Structure 1
Amino acid sequence: MRIKSLKLQQLEILNVRTKLGDEENRELKYLSAGFQGEIDFDNILESFIHDKNCIHIKDYRFNTRLNLHSFREGGSEVQIDSLLISGNRIYTFEIKNYSRDLIFGADDWHYLNHDVFKSPMTQVSRQNHELKLLLQKAPRNAEIFSSIVFINPNQTIYNLPHDKNILVRSNLKKFLTHHVQSNTFDLQPLMHHLERHQTAASIYDSKVRIDFDSLKPGVYCQDCSQPLIRSSQYHYSCVTCRNSVDTLSAARRLTEEMKILNPDWPVTAHLISHLSGGQISASYLRKMRRSGQLQF
């Protein structure tokens, strides 16, 4: 299961409970589109590998400080949207879900209005280079092929060459048909090496800079962000998408929101109740905590 980045989760919560600025709105749209593009890619890829002995790792992240041959002082982070081990080779995919049409260039790319679009191949080359360094001391190495995938079916890229590691929606399935094959080697040592160097959290993750009291209280639908209406003593419903949520699930979500926004905030029954707009009582929250059904 692919998980949304912490930044995207934070912006989605803030979009409901505060008024986002223009820059934050743009970032939210960009991250939301990117995540949807990754989901679309996953669905396509999974249809090719479901009956094969392949390994698919989503959002593989590692720190370059672990690479002894990486000379960047202090290191940095590499995040790979999708890493596929297939046919005893490693494939990395950088997924882009852009709607605007582009014109390919050997150095810089361009939008149709001639504005410069910095070549995304630099990012792909860096991923390939750093992953090769990471695998130099792996028990079993493997050839690495890195590519970029423009997943939006409505986007057009003009002047796209045939011999580049650039995939678009129209040729993605042809590429996967040719390259997705069952592994024949024992890849567990390689997997252990990758897992050992994978970092769970991004070095760019941070807590939001906002006061708890400035958050708009209430219980909201996770799917459409509309206020949930109490339909019975222990259930809420969404009039927009017809979702039904029980009180305990709503309380767990409120607790999770606080931890996502700022892990330094003290999570108490009083504050959770306050964030719910008083719809969930502090006494109920304490009762659920004592029973072990709610943790905070």
Structure 2
Amino acid sequence: MEYKFSKLISAYDEGNGWLRLYNSQKGLESLIRVRKEKFERIKQNLENDGIFQNTADKTFQKLAELEYIIPYSGDEEKALEVKIGEQIYEPVLRLIILPTEKCSFRCRYCYEKFENGKMSDQLQNAIINYVKNNIHNYARMEVRWFGGEPLEALDVIENLSKNFITICKMAHRNYEASITTNGYYLTYDVFQRLYRLSVRNYQVTIDGLKTEHDQQRYLAGGIGTFEQIVNNLVDIKTRCKSRIPNFTIRTNFNKESIKRLDEYLYFFSEKFGDDDRFGFSLQ
């Protein structure tokens, strides 16, 4: 059987004879270390004729299991086109809403100017009327709360959500929401309020361990945010009994923080590795 390497691979050379691999299609479960020499040998064999004689080789088997290596006949581009097409052409009313553009963080890499404050009542009513007048054209509705920091305008989220839920219920349409938040205000109490409003998916950024994160993501006054965010997430993990919510912890690495990747992965595993509601996204 002929094989080829996936196009969805990210490889980081650790500089000590090891490579760190990540498959964006498989996510956190695909994150592994392999010997650079072994990886290059397998890659060269496959690029030459698509054949690797020793398919019983443990490294080859692991790469195949995590879909770094796929059958030569596999069409990844076609599979991605189908997935994208399903999202584009499915009759879903998808709205990305910024309740506020304000944020108490001053992240080192942020491009926002924080010029606009909380959404006005007038604009909220306009959005509600739009949904009311158009929901019948769609099979369901999805909202993504974004910002700024959306939890700094929790009252806007609550007002709009309650109206959306009522409209969808009357129209017999399903409703679901997600939120991208810095996690600083995501206490268990706030999580409960969001969950009751059908917010099921949460993306929170933690940029490495405490030292690295606090150098990147700090409050306007310069105070670090790592401990508050982690404590919030651990509290939710411990107290929330529902298996429905999903948390993606996004991490942006730089040249310094990537050096402590193993420590960070150990930290993540210790805090959240035993809970499949928590996933991981490397940037």
The interval holding the TM-score normalised by the smaller chain is under 0.3
TM-score (norm 1): 0.23
More helix by share: 2
TM-score (norm 2): 0.23
